[in-house]
Structure 1
Amino acid sequence: MSFAACLAVADVFDAVAPQADVALKWPNDPLLNGRKAAGVLLESAGGGGRLDWLAVGVGVNLAHAPPQEPGAWPPTSVAAETGAAPDPETALAHLAAALAGWTARLEADGFAPLRAAWLARAARLGEKVTARLPRETVEGVFTDIDATGALVLTCSGARRRIAAADVFFA
């Protein structure tokens, strides 16, 4: 669902900022012109292999962006990149329709088409990445995302799958 939500935000950006470069930073950051303009967070609960509930949170910087934090990805807003902020209700209508479409595609066809669409918009695919995990830092080339959505890095000739990390580009 995180990938569906990111693709939906990318669709919104295509609609409200058609001249901007839209990309997706693994795992959940839609970018406008190389700067973070939105974020997606998921919360869920369940047990025994079942999902009881899932909440998808999407924040889009339409008119303003938060200040730059040290070490964080540079923020921006649609207004900063285009000169005008879209109407929030219009942006929400685009987002709701796009999320419904990507969710339906996920339910009907599985993750493969979302994976392909996400990779087509992947920021810095083929470039060096630093992934900070709780107990280690891993450097390698961003090679792929696998069938589960995990980041795949090539490190010293070997492929390394990373399910969760903070990602930084050199």
Structure 2
Amino acid sequence: MAEAARIAPTLAGPEWVLGLQQTAGRGRRGRAWTDPQGNFAATLILQPDEPPAQVALRSFVAALALFDAFVTVTGQANGLSLKWPNDVLLNGGKVAGILLESLGNTTVQYLAIGIGVNLAQSPPATDLEDGALQPVSLMSSSGILVTPEEFLTALATAYAVYEQQFTTYGFAPIREKWLARAAKLGQVIRARTGTSDMTGTFETVDEGGNLVLSTAKGRVAIPAADVFF
């Protein structure tokens, strides 16, 4: 992500940056992201031409591309699911995460989509928040070892397809595909924001990408939160 920010002003078009070793990995809200040897860390840099709210929906585009990349390298979709807002699960554990960062206010000058995948190893679970999902690796869960370069080829290919769909048809088809792969849809989950903690039935993701819960106090649309099962 730091390299993406450095080179973004010099780029004429989209570009992937693959980091074979990270010394300052980070996740959402500044959390540390541990990156053991053999795992995947890459960032896609884009120059989108949409309002910021539309640009932010590319987290769902990236999630679908990740799902397809796992299917490509393993040959199966069993055990894979997508966790709102930005994680990929394998057999119930977190195998990948997505982080979006942008430059610009009323317009987005560039968008960096950072993606981390536990290919070879899962980081230690000692620093997890209470209730957070355990990390897993592709190798430990499937017995399949994939190099970062091989995974990038599958991911970049899948992302290009979904990016074309998104820019041509908008969020609706992306949203439909994402919901078809969503973890815990129709089940009771917990969403923690900076100011509140809500429990309710995961009803849907709306047209703005918000998590929609059916709670005891009614239907609530949540733009950003940490979700616990």
The TM-score with structure 1 as length reference comes to 0.95
Contact 2:73 2:154 in 1 (8 A): no
Q: Does 1:9 align with 2:66?
A: yes
Q: 1:121 corresponds to which residue?
A: 181
Superposition pairs of residues 121-160 of structure 1, within 5 angstroms? 121-156=181-216, 158-160=218-220
State how many pairs are aligned. 168
2:131 counterpart of 1:106: no
Shift of 1:75: 0.6
Matched, 1:57 2:114: yes
Give the whole-Å Cα distance in 2 for the aligned partners of 1:79 and 1:52: 37
Select the structure that is richer in strand. Answer: 1
The answer for the alignment partner of 1:42 in structure 2 is 100
RMSD: 1.2
Query: 83, 86, 91: which is aligned to 1:28?
Result: 86
Percent of residue pairs bearing the same amino acid type: 46
Matched, 1:166 2:223: no
SS at match of 2:194: coil
After superposition, give the CA deviation of every residue in 1:33-84 in whole Å (9 maximum; x if it has no partner).
Answer: 111000000001212x211111000011110111112422111111011112
Contact 2:83/2:182 (<8 A) preserved = yes
Uncovered stretches (5+) of structure 2, i.e. residues with no partner? 1-57
1:85 alignment partner AA:
L
1:57-96 equivalences in 2 (<5 Å):
57-68=114-125, 69-71=128-130, 72-96=132-156
Contact 2:73–2:146, Cα closer than 8 Å, also in 1: yes
Taking the aligned partners of 1:5 and 1:30, their CA distance within structure 2 comes to: 10
CA contact (8 A) 1:12 1:94 kept: yes
The TM-score, its normalising length taken from structure 2, stands at 0.71
Q: Deviations over 1:102-135 (max 9, x none)?
A: 1111000000001000000000001111110111
Task: Give the aligned residue type for 2:160.
Answer: A
TM-fit CA distance, 1:89 = 1.4
Q: State the Cα distance separating 1:157 from its structure 2 match.
A: 6.4
Q: Distance in 2 between matches of 1:109 and 1:79?
A: 36
1:140 alignment partner AA: G
Provide closer, same or farther for how the CA distance between residues 145 and 19 of structure 1 changes in structure 2, counting only shifts above 3 A.
Answer: closer
Contact in 2 for aligned 1:20/1:81 (Cα 8 Å): no
SS at match of 2:208: coil
Uncovered stretches (5+) of structure 1, i.e. residues with no partner: none
Q: Does the CA-based 8 Å contact 1:29-1:39 persist in structure 2?
A: yes
Report the Cα distance in structure 2 between the residues aligned to 1:162 and 1:133, rounded to whole angstroms.
9
User: What is the distance in 2 between the residues matched to 1:165 and 1:14?
Assistant: 28
Distance 1:152 1:99 in 2: 26
